[in-house]
């Protein structure tokens, strides 16, 4: 299900939390790095919905939890294709900026060979913080899609609303609450387990 959706995401990605490369066996050059549901690309594999992208982000969040990271996952979708999928890696890298959104945006920019991601959607399991909201604004992300609201640090509607500030030079489209229950449950389960330790 989800593993098939992220099987062919980024050519040459070797990041610890990133998505593995899978060479395109049939030389479908036009479909390289596309989400594939089988060995041959089909019209159903050509465009990923926000819900399908969120499923991949939730799988990334699950991987983060296994590694002891706060379970937040993010994917970047370009022309209906997932081109980056990452999760939080602050503990593994000792990097306070290693949030899922920042890592996914970096991978997407490298994949596309440009910093401007104005034709990309960022799909993330948790409402972005101030740093991540700033990163997606600077990348000129077209649409932000998130699952659970973050009442303590959310910067795209809950605590602040950076993405709709008219003083900013870019305001992405926003869609929230996509698979919010699943996202919230992952976070609650993770912190419940942490409290038991």
Active site residues: 101
Task: Calculate ∠ Cα 17-22-24, nearest 5°.
Answer: 150
Q: Tokens at residue 157, please?
A: 């509607």
Beta strand residue intervals within 40-141, DSSP E: 73-78, 81-87, 120-126
CA quadruple 159, 83, 182, 192: dihedral sign: negative
Instruction: Give Cβ neighbours of residue 164 (< 8 Å, ≥ 6 apart).
Output: 171, 174
Does residue 151 contact residue 159 with C-beta atoms inside 8 Å?
yes
SS3 193: helix
Q: How many CB atoms lie within 10 A of CB 94?
A: 8
């Amino acid at each position: 299900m989800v593993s098939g959706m992220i099987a062919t995401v980024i050519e040459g990605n070797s990041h610890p939390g990133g998505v593995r490369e899978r060479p395109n066996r049939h030389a479908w050059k036009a479909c390289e790095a596309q989400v594939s549901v089988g060995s041959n690309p089909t019209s159903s594999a050509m465009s990923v919905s926000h819900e399908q992208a969120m499923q991949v982000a939730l799988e990334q969040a699950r991987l983060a939890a296994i590694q002891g990271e706060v379970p937040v996952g993010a994917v970047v979708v370009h022309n209906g294709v997932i081109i980056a999928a990452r999760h939080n890696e602050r503990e593994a890298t000792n990097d306070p900026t290693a949030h899922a959104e920042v890592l996914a945006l970096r991978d997407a920019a490298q994949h596309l060979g440009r910093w401007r991601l104005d034709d990309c959607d960022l799909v993330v399991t948790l409402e972005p913080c101030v740093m991540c909201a700033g990163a997606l604004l600077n990348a000129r992300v077209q649409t932000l899609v998130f699952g659970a609201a973050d009442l303590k640090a959310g910067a795209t509607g809950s605590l602040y609303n950076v993405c709709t500030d008219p003083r900013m030079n870019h305001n992405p489209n926003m869609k929230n609450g996509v698979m919010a229950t699943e996202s919230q449950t992952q976070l609650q389960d993770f912190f419940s387990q942490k409290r038991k330790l």
